[in-house]
A = this chain, B = another copy of it.
Amino acid sequence: MTDTTACPVISRMATNASDFDVRLDALLAWEGVSDVDVQHRVEEILDAVRTRGDAALIETSNRFDRLAVSSMAELELSPERLRQAHDGLGAEQRDALASAAERIRLYHERQKPESWQYTESDGTVLGQKVSPLDRAGIYVPGGKAAYPSSVLMNAIPAHVAGVREIIMVVPTPDGVLNELVLAAAHLAGVDRVFTLGGAQAVAALAYGTETVPRVDKIVGPGNIYVATAKRAVFGQVGIDMIAGPSEILVISDGGTDPEWLAMDLFSQAEHDEDAQAILVSWDAEHLAAVEAAIERLLPTLEREAIVRESLARRGALIHCEDRQQAVALINRIAPEHLELSVADPEEWLPDIRHAGAIFMGRYTAEALGDYCAGPNHVLPTSGTARFSSPLGVYDFQKRSSIIHCSAEGASALGKIASTLARGESLTAHARSAEYRIK
C-alpha cells in the first residue's frame, strides 16, 4: 500500500453505499454557533462601545489590532487617501477593477425593485413604495481574507439602491493597509472608511459613537467575533446572513476537461481549510480522471497546503446513479455555488430548487462569477440557500405599504373590518372602522 491510497487526497463516496446518507450528513455538518466564552467577550465589547463610544474604539483597536493610536482621526481614511490608492494601481489592475465594477453595476441596476400601485374600481389605491436605506455599513475583513472584489460586491448594490451614505470598516492589524481594498472603495462609491474591525466595529456601526455614525444595516463577512456581534445587534440594525465557510458543488456529465474541473474545485478549496468542494457525476471513469488531475495539479498550486487540508477534511467526489440522483443531491445540499458542467444546463434549471448561484455550462467557471460576471458573490452558505438569497439591491431598500381609501372604499371595507374586529374583541378597531361607513 502506498501513502496515497492510505490517505487519499479527497474522499470518494457513492450514493448506492449503505452508509451514504450518514457520511453525507457528516460531510455537510457545520456548526457556526459561537461558544459561551466568545459570546461573553463580544457582549463586553458591545457594551463598552455603546457606553463609552470613541474611547472604547481606540482602546480595543490598539489592543486587538496592535495599533498605537490616540485619536479617532487616526482611525479614519480620507476620500483623498482612497483616490490615491486607486491612482497608484498599475493600468492592468485598474482597468480590471473598473470593468468588474461596471459589470456589477449594470447587473444590479437590472435587479432594482421599483415602487408600484394600482387603483380599484371605487378609487381606492393600494401599492408599495420602495425606498433606500439612509445609511449602510460594510464590514470588510482584514488580513489574508481582505478582498477588493468583496468591497465592490457589497458597496455597489448599496450605491445602486440609492443609499445616502455608505460607511466601510476594515481592520488593519499591525497598521497594514491593503491598497487594492482602498482602491475598490473609491471605485464603489464608499463615503467614509474607518480602520476598525471585530466586534468593536460592529458595535460602532450599530450604536454610533461621537465619530462613527449609526447605520441602518450592517453587511459583509467576518470572523466568529464579527458574526456573534452581528447576531447580537440584529433588531437594533438590519444584518445580512451570518456566513459560514464557502462551498461549491460541481455536477459533471463527463464531458468537461478533468483539469478544468480539478482547478474549479481548487479555486473553492484555496479560500481556507474549512471551504468545501464537492464534485458529483454518474460517470465513474470521469471521476477517476478528475481525481488523477487533482493529484497531478496539486503540487503546482501556490496554496497547496490549504487546498490539501480543505479537500481532505471537507471535499468529496461523489458517484451517483443518474441525472435524477444528481438533482436530488443539489436540492438536499442547497449549495452556495452550483456549477452545472453539463451539455444542457438549461434543461436542469426547472428542477433546481435551492442554490445561491448557478454557473451554467462548461465555460462558466465559478471564478468568473466571483469577480466580474455581474451577479453578487455574497451568497447564502451552509444550506441556507433553502431560505435566503444572494446579496442584492433589495438588501439596501425597504418597502412601505400604501393604502389610500376612497370614501366609497372605506365604507365597504369598514363593514368587513367591523365584523372581524368584533370577532377579535377589538371594539375600538371596530368603531374606528365604523366611523368611515356611510
Interface residues of A (CB under 8 A from B): 32, 92-93, 96-97, 99-100, 107, 110-111, 113, 116, 118, 124-126, 128-129, 131, 133-134, 147-149, 180, 216-217, 231, 234-235, 237-238, 241-242, 257, 259-260, 263-264, 266-267, 269-271, 301-303, 307, 338, 345-346, 349, 352-361, 363-376, 379-380, 384-390, 392, 394, 398-407, 409-410, 413-417, 419-421, 423-433, 435-436
Contact = CB atoms under 8 A, between A and B. Distances in A.
19 contacts: A96-B416, A124-B373, A126-B374, A129-B358, A148-B424, A238-B388, A259-B435, A263-B431, A267-B432, A271-B426, A302-B425, A349-B402, A360-B405, A363-B405, A363-B410, A367-B432, A372-B416, A387-B398, A389-B398
Given A129-B349, A398-B385, A427 B301 contact: yes
A419 B96 contact: yes
Contacts of A352: 129, 400
A100 B416 contact: yes
A353 to B, nearest CB: 6
Contact of A386 (B92, B126, B134, B365): B134
B410 A399 contact: no
Contacts of A346: 404
Given A180-B424, A375-B126, A403-B373, A368 B267 contact: no
Given A32-B235, A405-B373, A432-B266, A420 B363 contact: no
B432 A359 contact: no
A201 B186 CA distance: 48
A364 B404 contact: yes
Contacts of A410: 363-365, 368
Given A356-B401, A429-B267, A435 B385 contact: no
A421 B367 contact: yes
A270 B429 contact: yes
Contacts of A380: 398
Given A107-B126, A302-B425, A432-B263, A405 B216 contact: no
A431 B303 CA distance: 12
A262 to B, nearest CB: 9
Copies, count: 2
Given A349-B129, A390-B401, A373 B413 contact: yes
A416 to B, nearest CB: 4
Closest 4 CB pairs of A and B: A238-B387, A363-B410, A360-B404, A375-B401
Contacts of A241: 235
A409 B97 CA distance: 17
Nearest to A364: B405
A256 B203 CA distance: 44
B371 A416 contact: yes
Nearest to A369: B403
A14 B266 CA distance: 65
A366 B423 CA distance: 17
A99 B203 CA distance: 47
B371 A417 contact: yes
Given A386-B133, A400-B358, A307 B235 contact: no
Taking each of A241, A267, A369, A398, which has the highest tally of chain B beta carbons within 10 Å of its own beta carbon?
A: A398
A391 B401 CA distance: 10
